[in-house]
């Protein structure tokens, strides 16, 4: 009988736990972001305008903050070659996996949007779902906008979605909101917003996340998303400051479940 500790099982358990955490991470993202579809028509329209079907050697669309591929896979399913960029390696791996399963022309690169070094230019760059408001202030936005400028083709367009008017709410109002829910083989994931606070130039969204297994085991955690307060005029000024040309703003209308977005447009 050996006196050595059995590290093989320990390592296997650690790997299994890491895989479970990564799977949870992807599922939460899909639950809280993946069902949003109100903006897809705009990205499709812009792709049709800037890269008409049949264009010889068309450039790819760049999807900033691509997550698990909500926008990238939709555009790729319509024949557009897309490169998704996200700081989260698990999301990029999942985007690649889903694209491969469907034989879609979508790829993914792990990168901070403030540090773009992609080695190619794009006719269309999109930054959906308030990605630009997740960059922790004006310096982060300036770095993103500089990267966009450096990665646009001549005549190319960048479209950046922001949320301007957010109504704060607390626990009393949140109690009336239905959670987003998804059943994964009997394990139910539920996410419910419990409050929004707007103060000191930040929008803070708090959620409660709950997982219930088929055996009835229950796990409750909290999640917080922090956005910079930003308006169209401010972002347009920041774009001008790095040499981008301001184009007419587009809109994504509000739905019963989601606030609307203003989409700031830039060219070079």
pLDDT digits (tens, 9 = 90+) for 85-112: 999 999 999 999 999 999 999 999 999 9
How far apart CA 185 and CA 75 sit, in angstroms, is 29
Phi, psi of 212 (to 5 degrees): -125, 120
How far apart CA 95 and CA 103 sit, in angstroms, is 12
Of 56-65, 87-96, 112-121, 188-197, the poorest mean pLDDT is in 56-65
Which pLDDT score, from 0 to 100, does residue 200 have? 93
CATH of domain 40-164+230-267: 3.40.50.150
pLDDT at 248 over 90: yes
CATH match of 171-227 with 1.10.20.140: no
- Tell me the pTM: 0.90
The enclosing H or E element of 171 equals helix 171-174
Asked whether 61 and 138 are in contact (CB, 8 A), the reply is no
CA distances to 47, 75, 217, 225, 264 from 42, rounded to whole Å, are 9, 11, 42, 25, 12
130 torsion bin: left (phi>0), alpha (psi -120 to 50), beta (else): left
Which pLDDT score, from 0 to 100, does residue 105 have? 96
Confidence class for position 238, pLDDT limits 50, 70, 90: very high
How far apart CA 245 and CA 25 sit, in angstroms, is 37
How far apart CA 14 and CA 65 sit, in angstroms, is 29
Of 97-101, 175-179, 220-224, the poorest mean pLDDT is in 175-179
Round to the nearest angstrom and report the end-to-end CA distance of the chain.
72
Average pLDDT, the chain: 92
Which pLDDT score, from 0 to 100, does residue 61 have? 97
Confidence class for position 58, pLDDT limits 50, 70, 90: confident
Q: What is the DSSP letter of 258?
A: S
Kindly list the domain boundaries of the chain, sorted by start residue.
40-164+230-267, 171-227
pLDDT at 217 over 60: yes
pLDDT at 60 over 70: yes
């Amino acid at each position: 009988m050996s006196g050595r500790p059995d590290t093989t099982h320990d390592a296997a358990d650690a790997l299994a736990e890491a895989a479970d955490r990564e799977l949870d991470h992807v599922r939460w993202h899909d639950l809280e972001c993946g069902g949003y579809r109100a903006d897809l028509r705009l990205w499709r329209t812009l792709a049709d305008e800037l890269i008409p079907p049949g264009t010889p050697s068309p450039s790819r669309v760049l999807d900033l903050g691509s997550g698990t591929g909500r926008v990238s896979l939709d555009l790729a399913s319509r024949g557009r070659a897309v490169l998704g960029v996200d700081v989260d390696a698990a999301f990029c791996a999942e985007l690649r996996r889903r694209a491969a399963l469907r034989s879609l022309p979508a790829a993914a690169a792990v990168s901070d949007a403030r540090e773009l070094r992609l080695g190619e230019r794009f006719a269309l760059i999109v930054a959906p779902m308030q990605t630009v408001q997740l960059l922790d202030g004006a310096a982060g936005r300036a770095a993103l906008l500089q990267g966009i400028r450096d990665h646009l083709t001549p005549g190319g367009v960048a479209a950046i979605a922001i949320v301007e008017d957010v109504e704060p709410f607390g626990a009393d109002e949140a109690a009336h909101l239905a959670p987003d829910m998804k059943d994964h083989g009997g394990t139910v994931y539920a996410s419910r917003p419990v409050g929004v606070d707007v103060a000191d130039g930040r929008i803070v969204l708090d959620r409660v996340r709950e997982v219930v297994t088929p055996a009835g085991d229950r796990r409750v955690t909290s999640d917080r998303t922090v956005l910079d307060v930003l308006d169209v005029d401010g972002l347009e000024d920041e774009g001008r400051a790095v040499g981008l040309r301001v184009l007419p703003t587009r809109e994504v209308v509000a739905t019963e479940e989601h606030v609307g977005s203003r989409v700031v447009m830039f060219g070079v």
